[in-house]
A and B are shown apart, each in its own frame.
Chain A
Amino acid sequence: MSEEKHHIVPYKTYLVILLVLLVLTFVSIAITNIELGELTVAGALFFATVKTFLVLTYFMHLKYDKPYIRIMVGFVFAIFLVVIIITFLDYYYRA
């Protein structure tokens, strides 16, 4: 196990990602000034998704890990998505 290579991410990458996250945070606040109606939630969720992706990929090192770990994480999100869809089988079709 000790022979496994550990990828070292340069500070610069972390810094760039941090900046991007901060910018996205301000953008997601700024966008609430525009009247988007029903799309407001979608907008907020979109920025949250992009940020989550960045955190998982760089801060949580998924980019440099073995593929099976990425598959497992993907599987988790797939289950999450399915659970949401099923819940809406109730809400969407409720009389």
Chain B
Amino acid sequence: MQTTNANEEVNYLEYKGKYSGIWGWIFSTDHKRIGLLYLYSIAIMFVVGAFLGLAMKLELIAPGKTIMNAATYNATFTVHGVIMIFMIVIPGLPAVFGNFLMPIMIGAKDVAFPKLNLLSWWLYVAGVLLILTALLFGPGVPDTGWTFYAPYSFKTGTNLLPAIFGAFVLGFSSILTGLNFLVTIHRLRAPGMKWLKLPLFVWTLYGTAWIQLLATPVVGITLVLVSLERVFGIGVFDPVLGGDPVLYQHLFWIYSHPAVYIMILPAMGAISEIIPTFAQKGIFGYKALIISTMAIAFVGYLVWGHHMYTAGMSGTAQYYFSLLTFFVAIPSAIKVFNWISTMYKGSIKLDTPFYWAASFIFVFMIGGLTGLVLGALATNIYVHDTAFVVAHFHFIVFGGVGFSFFGAIHYWYPKIFGKMYDKYWANVGWIVFFIGFMTLYTPMFYLGMQGMPRRYYDYLEEFHGGNILSTFGSWIMITGLVIIITNLIRSARKGEKAGINPWGGKTLEWRVPSPPPLENWDEIPVIGEEESKYF
């Protein structure tokens, strides 16, 4: 193995190209700069989305109107959902860490199509701006929920078209990233970097890229159909014109269930990198983890109907979807067992990324097992559209993806910024966040079981206790978030300088300087036959 000796080379943060200042960033085709562009844009939108979530929780601290009326509440959960789903967790780990690390991990100098990569980010920004237009101008903030369900989506008087078009453009951004990653992983692996040597994070990006490429067009077409329905009344979804509103739900979830795996697969990939590093032991079941990744990606296409049990599908379809949904649990469980087995008899170093990874497993298990309650047809009927569902998907999407994202940023932070954050405050931030998270979402399982519906700004007196606890949890969680973000921002300036490999990681990104030079490698690394059975 040749290691690059690029220490004297200018790193990517300081490099001066054709443009300077901010232009050197928004016109940069460097995969690392694009990764950071995504990180900053996602972080800004996350703050907005979190603020909206906080406002919703505050509204629910007491029955009746507290700080907003019903219409505002409807708009708030719609915008919260659209921002969190389309702008944050879907681009999420691939756009930030995939862009930054995947080329380095496979020993490449950049992605296959750097300009297309930059275009993806521009499209992302365009989509975000379009959706913000829908909020700021026109007859009212969209109030359909992030799912834009028919027939309400073409009946509502609010300013829905720009929001739908924005989601459409964000979809294009996602497709281009997926295409880029597919070609990169197929074509730009360093000599000797065989498929079965690829890091697991790269494998999950590969599975994700296929979903991005194949599933996203479906939602694109669906959103176009809703727009046409709204403007011209073409009658695809409108029952008055002979259309079928359930068809909308089919088309929407044909994308949006696999989209859950766009979010969670790379999250699992990051966990599969963090755990072996901090257990100081090779990953257990490397091949099983690859197979389960691809199995999740594949089976994920076939189970969308579990979102529609009460929509009036045929009984045959309901049985089928319930059965198939259980199959997804198998590869997910394989992953959990492999992570645990990796820790078994390892020599575990307790550092911030490991805390995040361990708590990821904890919250992901809760989210996954409650997912079975929702996947089972018989139990689903009782808790459908209750707070139980909201708790479940926040455990998966926020608990799963969010915890993994925070784990990843604490793991790769020294590589990305060349500085080490303050570990004490990072740990404090984690534990406060974790306690807040559990306090916020756990009561919602009980509230849902008691029958509290989701998406209502008001509730009966009997749900009061659980809601107070949950709102209280949101304040703890936001405190944790402030600690984490403050620590990370502060450390980027004032942190200690980080070495090439502060954690003892085995993958290739730990062989380039921190922060990496412009093209990562002076010389493309050659992976020897015997070298590291896998990374």
B230 in contact (CB, < 8 A): no
Could you tell me if B316 and A82 are in contact, using CB atoms closer than 8 angstroms?
Answer: no
Closest 9 CB pairs of A and B: A93-B314, A90-B317, A93-B316, A94-B314, A89-B317, A90-B313, A90-B314, A89-B316, A89-B320
Return the chain B residue nearest A90 by Cβ: B317
- Bitwise, A58-90 to B at CB < 8 A (1) or not (0) is 000000000000000000100100110011011
B250 in contact (CB, < 8 A): yes
Q: Which residues of A contact B254 (CB under 8 A)?
A: 83, 87
Q: Which residues of A contact B302 (CB under 8 A)?
A: 82-83, 86
Q: Which residues of A contact B305 (CB under 8 A)?
A: 86, 90
Could you tell me if A82 and B315 are in contact, using CB atoms closer than 8 angstroms?
Answer: no
A26 in contact (CB, < 8 A): no
A95 in contact (CB, < 8 A): yes
B406 in contact (CB, < 8 A): no
Could you tell me if A95 and B314 are in contact, using CB atoms closer than 8 angstroms?
Answer: yes
Tell me, in angstroms, the Cα distance from A36 to B372 when the chains sit together. 47
Give 14 CB contacts A-B under 8 Å.
Answer: A76-B214, A79-B214, A79-B298, A82-B302, A83-B254, A83-B301, A86-B305, A89-B320, A90-B250, A90-B314, A93-B314, A93-B317, A95-B314, A95-B315
Tell me, in angstroms, the Cα distance from A72 to B305 when the chains sit together. 26
B residues 262-304 near A (Cβ < 8 Å) are 298, 301-302
B residues 381-415 near A (Cβ < 8 Å) are none
- Bitwise, B314-330 to A at CB < 8 A (1) or not (0) is 11110010000000000
B246 in contact (CB, < 8 A): yes
A74 to B: closest C-beta gap in Å: 13
List 19 additional contacts besides A83-B301, A93-B316, A94-B314; criterion CB under 8 Å: A79-B301, A82-B301, A83-B254, A83-B302, A86-B302, A87-B254, A89-B314, A89-B316, A89-B317, A89-B320, A90-B246, A90-B305, A90-B314, A92-B314, A92-B316, A93-B314, A94-B313, A95-B314, A95-B315
A69 to B: closest C-beta gap in Å: 9
Tell me, in angstroms, the Cα distance from A1 to B112 when the chains sit together. 13
Tell me, in angstroms, the Cα distance from A1 to B191 when the chains sit together. 12
A94 to B: closest C-beta gap in Å: 4
Q: Which residues of A contact B250 (CB under 8 A)?
A: 87, 90
B208 to A: closest C-beta gap in Å: 15
Tell me, in angstroms, the Cα distance from A33 to B298 when the chains sit together. 42
Question: Which of A83, A86, A93, A95 neighbours the largest number of chain B CB atoms within 10 Å of its CB?
Answer: A86
Q: Which residues of B contact A76 (CB under 8 A)?
A: 214
Tell me, in angstroms, the Cα distance from A31 to B58 when the chains sit together. 63
Tell me, in angstroms, the Cα distance from A29 to B254 when the chains sit together. 31
Tell me, in angstroms, the Cα distance from A90 to B306 when the chains sit together. 12
Tell me, in angstroms, the Cα distance from A89 to B500 when the chains sit together. 55
Q: Which residues of A contact B317 (CB under 8 A)?
A: 86, 89-90, 93
Tell me, in angstroms, the Cα distance from A92 to B316 when the chains sit together. 9
Q: Which residues of B contact A83 (CB under 8 A)?
A: 254, 301-302
Tell me, in angstroms, the Cα distance from A83 to B315 when the chains sit together. 18
B residues 158-189 near A (Cβ < 8 Å) are 187
Q: Which residues of A contact B320 (CB under 8 A)?
A: 86, 89
Tell me, in angstroms, the Cα distance from A92 to B187 when the chains sit together. 43
B277 to A: closest C-beta gap in Å: 33
Q: Which residues of B contact A1 (CB under 8 A)?
A: 187
Return the chain A residue nearest B187 by Cβ: A1
B256 to A: closest C-beta gap in Å: 13
Return the chain A residue nearest B246 by Cβ: A90
Tell me, in angstroms, the Cα distance from A91 to B246 when the chains sit together. 10
Q: Which residues of B contact A91 (CB under 8 A)?
A: 314
A71 to B: closest C-beta gap in Å: 13
B319 to A: closest C-beta gap in Å: 9
A15 to B: closest C-beta gap in Å: 30
Return the chain A residue nearest B254 by Cβ: A83
B residues 241-264 near A (Cβ < 8 Å) are 246, 250, 254
- Bitwise, B362-380 to A at CB < 8 A (1) or not (0) is 0000000000000000000
Tell me, in angstroms, the Cα distance from A87 to B249 when the chains sit together. 11
Question: Which of B298, B301, B313, B314 neighbours the largest number of chain A CB atoms within 10 Å of its CB?
Answer: B314
Tell me, in angstroms, the Cα distance from A25 to B313 when the chains sit together. 37
Tell me, in angstroms, the Cα distance from A95 to B250 when the chains sit together. 17
B437 to A: closest C-beta gap in Å: 35
B207 to A: closest C-beta gap in Å: 13
A7 to B: closest C-beta gap in Å: 18
Q: Which residues of B contact A93 (CB under 8 A)?
A: 314-317
Tell me, in angstroms, the Cα distance from A86 to B324 when the chains sit together. 11
Q: Which residues of B contact A90 (CB under 8 A)?
A: 246, 250, 305, 313-314, 316-317
A26 to B: closest C-beta gap in Å: 27
Tell me, in angstroms, the Cα distance from A92 to B314 when the chains sit together. 8
Return the chain B residue nearest A69 by Cβ: B186
Tell me, in angstroms, the Cα distance from A87 to B301 when the chains sit together. 12
B526 to A: closest C-beta gap in Å: 16
Tell me, in angstroms, the Cα distance from A94 to B246 when the chains sit together. 12
Q: Which residues of B contact A89 (CB under 8 A)?
A: 314, 316-317, 320
Return the chain A residue nearest B311 by Cβ: A90
Tell me, in angstroms, the Cα distance from A57 to B187 when the chains sit together. 22
Return the chain A residue nearest B251 by Cβ: A87
Tell me, in angstroms, the Cα distance from A95 to B312 when the chains sit together. 10
Return the chain A residue nearest B316 by Cβ: A93
Tell me, in angstroms, the Cα distance from A89 to B250 when the chains sit together. 12
Tell me, in angstroms, the Cα distance from A95 to B316 when the chains sit together. 10
Q: Which residues of B contact A87 (CB under 8 A)?
A: 250, 254
A11 to B: closest C-beta gap in Å: 28
Q: Which residues of A contact B298 (CB under 8 A)?
A: 79
B107 to A: closest C-beta gap in Å: 15
